[in-house]
Amino acid sequence: MYLRDGKAPFDGMHEECGVFGVYSTETRDVAHTAYYGLYALQHRGQESCGIAVAYANKISYYKGMGLVPEVFANGNLETLSEGDIAIGHVRYSTTGASSLLNAQPIVFTGKCGKMALAHNGNLTNTKQLREELIRGDAVFQTSIDSEVMALLINKYSDGDIVKGVIEACRRFKGSFSLVVMTSDKLIAVRDPYGIRPLVLGKCLDDVFIASETCAIDAVGGNVVRDVQPSEVLVIDSEGIHSHFLEKAEKTASCIFEYVYFARPDSVIDGCSVYTARKEAGRILAKHYPIDADIVSGVPDSAVVAARGYSEISGIPYVEALAKNRYVGRTFIQPDQHMREDSVSVKMNALRANIRGKRLIIIDDSIVRGTTSRKIVKMLRDAGAKEVHMMICSPIVRHPCHLGIDMQSYSQLIGANRSVEEICAYIGADSLTYMTVEQLKETCRAAKLQFCTGCFDAGYPYPMDDYETDKHKFE
């Protein structure tokens, strides 16, 4: 099947990034703390990672292409100095090429001395800010938003890093969960809409900032609270202080974090990701009953939902797909050819469980459709009598310009095809999506309102704000 631009669709979406920060008054080995924090956030980005450590008015750092344990193997972690403060980053490129030059944290020397910055999200006014900075004689080394952020923070800082961060963040549009480090401060910022998650944790006098609570748990910390939308948290020898950017008229946390991106053991804005996913299965069972012999989930993110469906419907939960634990998520490779080939390497059908059975298979989402098509074929080849695909989210009809790599309509099968056409393309006996309202219901415990832009164009602000026309139909 070919989409409106004549290209074959490809499947999967890429996560954005993960950030971690630690401010310690006790341990000097903050690099190891950051390492374990990043390890817990690996699911948010697998292309590159890095850690920067502040010590004695200096910053040491190490960045590399690959997974956290690969990059910091062979003594690389030990090359980092002891220190009081560290920030770290795992990256999947949503903007900028996948290269070491674009890996984070960004480390630079400015008006406040040595600084480092790591960013999760995507600015939508980067082009304008970049041009403004270039007119002011700035030069750029990378193509990523974070360098624009660093230069703008420096521009406004006048020796006061907190002022610089606040003034710069007032100029940013889009999504940003940021950690910034100087030799004596750790600063965390969450954009006014709260689009990407960011959480504060503590262990005795050590303070942690992380994209998800699972990273706070991994370093032995206690989750204190979410960083609030528009909050600028300053952590230094005086303690933890809050400042606020102008609040947005509403919040718009990314609902896809619950559907897919976040780890199930994380809690975002008061809502457990695991509970939200289980509830999604329950809601599907209540609203869309199907006469079938077994129900199963595509590992890992949809397994919980399948259990929820089973609970309500009484249809036995049976494992239909076995996952190769040693292969990363389908889409960790930025190369399209590798991505398509990796589905059958990643998982295989459990023939004995599904042969002759009418099967409901639940997945978190369909972006491009090719993975679903391969899964349905795999299940049929293994002897399933019927394959009914149910999706724990609505149809993805619109791109995301807020930090997820779904950046054009041509990539989205839901923007180009009806449900019936998608069902025919993936080869299922039936295909069911949930509605936006039902999806919101799964995360009703969350304290923020949601961005649902990729489903219903309910972005926090009009799409026209985006700097390029790359999201528009050709």
User: Looking at 218-226, 248-256, 294-302, 350-358, which segment touches ligand SF4 (CB under 6 A)?
Assistant: 248-256
Query: What phi, psi does 57 have (nearest 5°)?
Result: 60, 20
Q: Give the list of residues 6+ apart from residue 194 with CB closer than 8 angstroms, or none.
A: 228, 229, 230, 251, 252, 253, 269, 448
Minimum gap (Å) between residue 256 Cβ and ligand SF4: 4
CA separation for the pair 443, 441 (Å, rounded): 5
Q: Should residue 451 be labelled a site residue for ligand SF4 when binding is judged by CB under 6 A? A: yes
Nearer Cβ to ligand SF4 (376/400): 400
Minimum gap (Å) between residue 448 Cβ and ligand SF4: 12
User: Looking at 80-88, 349-357, 414-422, 451-459, which segment touches ligand SF4 (CB under 6 A)?
Assistant: 451-459
Nearer Cβ to ligand SF4 (120/182): 120
Nearer Cβ to ligand SF4 (111/440): 440
Q: Give the list of residues 6+ apart from residue 6 with CB closer than 8 angstroms, or none.
A: none
Minimum gap (Å) between residue 174 Cβ and ligand SF4: 10
Q: Is 443 a catalytic residue?
A: no
Minimum gap (Å) between residue 404 Cβ and ligand SF4: 4
Q: Which of 116, 216, 404, 422 binds ligand SF4 (CB under 6 A)?
A: 404
159 Rama class: left (phi>0) / alpha (psi -120 to 50) / beta: left
Q: Should residue 453 be labelled a site residue for ligand SF4 when binding is judged by CB under 6 A? A: yes
Side-chain half-sphere CA neighbours of 320 within 13 A: 37
Q: Which of 68, 98, 66, 63 is nearest to 80 (CA)?
A: 63
Q: H-type helices in 41-124, by residue range?
A: 68-71
Amino acid at 10: F
Minimum gap (Å) between residue 415 Cβ and ligand SF4: 13
Q: Which of 117, 186, 452, 466 binds ligand SF4 (CB under 6 A)?
A: 452
Long-range contacts formed by 69-73: CB under 8 A, 24+ apart:
69/39, 72/35
Minimum gap (Å) between residue 419 Cβ and ligand SF4: 19
Nearer Cβ to ligand SF4 (153/400): 400
Minimum gap (Å) between residue 288 Cβ and ligand SF4: 22
Nearer Cβ to ligand SF4 (118/195): 195
CA separation for the pair 88, 53 (Å, rounded): 9
Q: Which of 400, 412, 423, 434 binds ligand SF4 (CB under 6 A)?
A: 400
Q: Count of CB atoms within 10 A of residue 134's CB? A: 12
State the number of binding residues for ligand SF4 (CB under 6 A). 11
CA separation for the pair 443, 456 (Å, rounded): 17
The one-character DSSP state at 423 is: H
Only one residue has tokens 């980092």, namely 80
Of 63-122, which residues contact ligand SF4 (CB under 6 A)? none
Q: How far is CA 260 from CA 126, 229, 391, 450, 451, in A?
A: 27, 21, 11, 15, 14
User: Looking at 34-42, 123-131, 157-165, 445-453, which segment touches ligand SF4 (CB under 6 A)?
Assistant: 445-453
User: Looking at 130-138, 238-246, 340-348, 447-455, which segment touches ligand SF4 (CB under 6 A)?
Assistant: 447-455
Of 165-204, which residues contact ligand SF4 (CB under 6 A)? 195
Q: Should residue 19 be labelled a site residue for ligand SF4 when binding is judged by CB under 6 A? A: no
Minimum gap (Å) between residue 284 Cβ and ligand SF4: 19
Q: Which of 402, 412, 426, 434 binds ligand SF4 (CB under 6 A)?
A: 402
User: Looking at 62-70, 144-152, 180-188, 250-258, which segment touches ligand SF4 (CB under 6 A)?
Assistant: 250-258
Query: What phi, psi does 286 have (nearest 5°)?
Result: -70, -40
Q: Count of CB atoms within 10 A of residue 395's CB? A: 24
CA 297 to chain centre: 21
Q: Should residue 17 be labelled a site residue for ligand SF4 when binding is judged by CB under 6 A? A: no
Q: Give the list of residues 6+ apart from residue 225 with CB closer than 8 angstroms, or none.
A: 199, 200
Nearer Cβ to ligand SF4 (28/470): 470
Under a CB-based contact definition with an 8 Å cutoff, are residues 226 and 188 in contact? no
Nearer Cβ to ligand SF4 (254/294): 254
CA dihedral 28, 25, 121, 394 (to 10 degrees): 100
Q: Which of 148, 273, 366, 454 binds ligand SF4 (CB under 6 A)?
A: 454
Nearer Cβ to ligand SF4 (201/460): 460
Of 252-271, which residues contact ligand SF4 (CB under 6 A)? 254-256
Q: Which residues bind ligand SF4 (CB under 6 A)?
A: 195, 254-256, 400, 402, 404, 451-454
* Enzyme catalytic residues: 17
